[in-house]
Amino acid sequence: MTHDNIDILVVDDDISHCTILQALLRGWGYNVALANSGRQALEQVREQVFDLVLCDVRMAEMDGIATLKEIKALNPAIPVLIMTAYSSVETAVEALKTGALDYLIKPLDFDNLQATLEKALAHTHSIDAETPAGDCQPVRYGR
């Protein structure tokens, strides 16, 4: 199955993990961009529309939760999957409350990753199909 029109951003400061995920996701037919920090991810999200972001929690400079918050501020509709090798209930709850669609534990189970991606993208595309193009309005909270 090809996903030529699906763009995924992988955010992880572990370059080898990024490279492995890039090869895997490209093998599944996705277009993949890499960011090695939260700041790089935000620059890319400002410049390009991604269908999904896969973001690590523990990163130097700007952690995954802060990156998630900023991505959601830029584009509330983009699905973000958080991944970590250092799982805790508190971090999972915080990620989900902040807007992550799911929370994945490293080392990633590739079958589970593929199923989670398909589910996230299907969910996103079903929401897009239900919303007429002209009806999109910015979401404002707290005012």
The pLDDT tens digits of the residues spanning 97-106 come to 999 999 999 9
Confidence of residue 123 (pLDDT cuts 50, 70, 90): confident
Separation in Å, CA 65 to CA 13, 21, 76, 81: 14, 20, 14, 11
For position 54, what pLDDT does the model report? 98
User: Could you please report the per-residue DSSP string of 75-122?
Assistant: -TTS-EEEEESS--HHHHHHHHHHT-SEEEESSP-HHHHHHHHHHHHH
Q: Which residues pair with 53 in a beta bridge?
A: 9, 80
CA distance 51 to 113: 15
pTM here is 0.85
pLDDT tens-digit readout, 23-44: 999 999 999 999 999 999 999 9
Residue in the structure block whose two tokens are 């593929």: 114
All domains of the chain in start order, with CATH: 7-130 (3.40.50.2300)
pLDDT tens-digit readout, 74-110: 999 999 999 999 888 999 999 999 999 999 999 999 9
H or E, element range at 130: helix 110-130
